[in-house]
């Protein structure tokens, strides 16, 4: 930019007119002639003086010519400097243009390569052979590792793959690497097919996709740092949105992970579902989801609204010391196993209307803090719920507690213990 400013401020170059040279020559002749004639008039008829007068006149003419030559030399130097500066400007502009062209060419080449890799990887995900699908999955992961601007797109593709229809084995092994036996597939056939490949192979592809999400959403490097198949390090991808609406997830594990908006509506969790110490920065929706075994949300943190409306927990639901910073609703939710909310903190509304609890229910030392209300209208309990040590903020005790529980009488405004009648 400074070079451009210098060129703009530089005076325009003007050609020396021909008459300047004529004036210079005339000045030399006139100065020599005038000096000689003047000195000859003074010398009179003395020959030696006249010779000296002529010498002095010629010297004056030579001096005048030297001055003119000096001016011309100064102009030549100025022109030379202008020429050098111009050459440098041209070289600098040419170099900058070449660099810009090289950058553009490199960017275009990179974008073409990224597009080709992305297209090929997506095509591989739709292949009939499971190893090819695995290769496409890992190609997408490497692409996202090298180009952060494409990470959300890659996550969207992986989530879309997990949302595709899948008929899993009737029972899922506790360890993802344990081979499935015939009885796991179902009584009708030991070779149930999915997308042209054996269900066992498809299960491995889906487990790899789930591990990929967990690997790059994990805040801690202590878990699943490197995938044993792809040998890819687990670099955290910040701010990812997860859309697994209707997905069938097997032994799903997002423990110690952090993600933004998450949509798990109507998802089916075969085996366990682990969200221990997970952090949700955006809204979270589990409405209509089915948890086949246990669901672990111990110490999970929900920064925005979370809904579990209409969820079916077929195993234990563990929310020990979970933190709900905004509204949390479990309306019409069915808990077939134990429901443990001990130590949980509800900062806003805690809605459990019409929920059904099939086994033990524990809200021991839970806190219902903030301006929201606890709502247990129409709740069905198979055993007596335990709110021992639970505290609630009670503006006039407008909460709706389970039968037999209420704010301790006479408690001052603020946090007060729950007691049983």
pLDDT digits (tens, 9 = 90+) for 366-384: 999 877 789 999 999 999 9
Do residues 415 and 390 touch, judged by C-beta distance below 8 A? no
Residues 276 and 194 placed together within one structural domain of the fold = no
Q: What is the pLDDT of residues 399-414, one digit of tens each?
A: 889 988 888 776 666 7
Residues 177 and 100 placed together within one structural domain of the fold = no
Beta strands 339-340 and 284-285, pairing class:
unpaired
Residue whose pair of structure tokens reads 């198979």 in the numeric block: 382
Q: What is the pLDDT of residues 88-133, one digit of tens each?
A: 888 888 888 778 777 766 655 555 665 677 788 788 888 889 999 9
Residues 15 and 157 placed together within one structural domain of the fold = no
The whole-angstrom separation of Cα 236 and Cα 419 is 45
Residues 279 and 408 placed together within one structural domain of the fold = yes
Mean pLDDT of 73-98: 80
Residues 267 and 222 placed together within one structural domain of the fold = no
Confidence at residue 386, expressed as pLDDT on a 0 to 100 scale: 95
Residue whose pair of structure tokens reads 């301006």 in the numeric block: 371
Q: Is residue 37 within a helix (H) or strand (E), and if so which, with residue range?
A: helix 18-43
End-to-end CA distance of the chain: 81
List phi, psi (to 5°) of 16.
-70, 125
Residues 270 and 410 placed together within one structural domain of the fold = yes
210, 240, 270 - which closes a domain: 240
Residues 253 and 332 placed together within one structural domain of the fold = yes
Beta strands 356-357 and 334-335, pairing class:
parallel
Q: Is the pLDDT of residue 306 over 50?
A: yes
The reply to whether the predicted model has a pTM over 0.85 is: no
Residues 332 and 265 placed together within one structural domain of the fold = yes
Structure tokens given for 420: 């049983």
Mean pLDDT of 250-267: 95
List phi, psi (to 5°) of 240.
-75, 135
Q: Decide if 62 is inside a domain.
A: yes
- Of the candidate ranges 19-28, 281-290, 301-310, 315-324, the one whose mean pLDDT is the lowest: 19-28
Total domains present in the chain = 3
Residue 300 pLDDT class (50, 70, 90 cuts):
very high
Residues 173 and 272 placed together within one structural domain of the fold = no
The whole-angstrom separation of Cα 218 and Cα 108 is 33
Q: In which domain, by residue range, is 25 found?
A: 2-122
Closest CA to 162 of 234, 279, 241, 267: 267
Q: Is residue 362 within a helix (H) or strand (E), and if so which, with residue range?
A: strand 361-362
The whole-angstrom separation of Cα 32 and Cα 323 is 106
215, 240, 265 - which closes a domain: 240
> 3-state DSSP call for residue 160?
helix
Beta strands 284-285 and 262-263, pairing class:
parallel
Residues 293 and 401 placed together within one structural domain of the fold = yes
Cα torsion 215, 216, 217, 223: sign: positive
Q: Is residue 55 within a helix (H) or strand (E), and if so which, with residue range?
A: helix 47-125
Closest CA to 368 of 351, 383, 386, 385: 351
Residues 136 and 230 placed together within one structural domain of the fold = yes
Residues 108 and 160 placed together within one structural domain of the fold = no
């Amino acid at each position: 930019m400074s070079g451009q400013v210098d060129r703009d401020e530089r005076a325009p170059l003007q050609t020396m007119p021909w008459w300047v040279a004529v004036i210079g020559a005339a000045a030399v002749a006139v100065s020599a002639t005038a000096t000689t004639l003047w000195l000859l008039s003074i010398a009179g008829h003395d020959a030696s003086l006249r010779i000296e007068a002529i010498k002095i006149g010629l010297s004056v003419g030579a001096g005048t010519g030297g001055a003119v030559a000096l001016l011309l030399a100064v102009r030549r130097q100025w022109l030379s400097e202008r020429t050098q500066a111009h050459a440098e400007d041209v070289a600098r502009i040419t170099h900058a243009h070449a660099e810009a062209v090289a950058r553009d060419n490199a960017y275009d080449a990179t974008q073409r390569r990224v597009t080709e890799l992305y297209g090929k990887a997506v095509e591989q995900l739709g292949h009939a052979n499971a190893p090819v699908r695995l290769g496409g999955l890992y190609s997408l992961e490497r692409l996202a590792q090298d180009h952060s601007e494409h990470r959300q797109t890659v996550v969207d593709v992986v989530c879309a793959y997990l949302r595709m229809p899948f008929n899993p084995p009737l029972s899922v092994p506790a360890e993802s690497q344990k081979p499935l036996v015939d009885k796991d597939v179902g009584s009708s056939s030991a070779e149930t097919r999915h997308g042209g490949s054996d269900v066992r192979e498809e299960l491995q592809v889906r487990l790899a996709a789930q591990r990929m999400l967990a690997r790059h959403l994990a805040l801690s490097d202590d878990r699943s740092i490197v995938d044993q198949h792809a040998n890819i390090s687990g670099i955290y991808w910040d701010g990812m949105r997860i859309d697994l609406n209707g997905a069938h997830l097997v032994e799903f594990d997002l423990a110690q992970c952090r993600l933004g908006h998450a949509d798990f509506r109507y998802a089916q969790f075969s085996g366990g579902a682990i969200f221990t110490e997970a952090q949700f920065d955006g809204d979270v929706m589990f409405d209509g989801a089915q948890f086949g075994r246990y669901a672990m949300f111990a110490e999970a943190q929900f920064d925005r609204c979370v809904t579990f409306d209409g969820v079916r927990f077929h195993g234990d639901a563990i929310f020990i010391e979970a933190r709900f910073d905004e509204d949390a609703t479990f309306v019409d939710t069915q808990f077939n196993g134990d429901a443990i909310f001990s130590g949980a903190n509800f900062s806003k509304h805690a809605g459990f209307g019409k929920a059904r609890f099939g086994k033990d229910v524990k809200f021991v030392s839970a806190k219902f803090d903030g301006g929201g209300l606890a709502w247990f209208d129409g709740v069905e309990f198979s055993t007596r719920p335990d709110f021992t040590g639970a505290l609630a903020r009670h503006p006039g005790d407008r909460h709706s507690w389970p039968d037999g529980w209420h704010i301790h009488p006479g408690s001052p405004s603020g946090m007060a213990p729950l007691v049983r009648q």
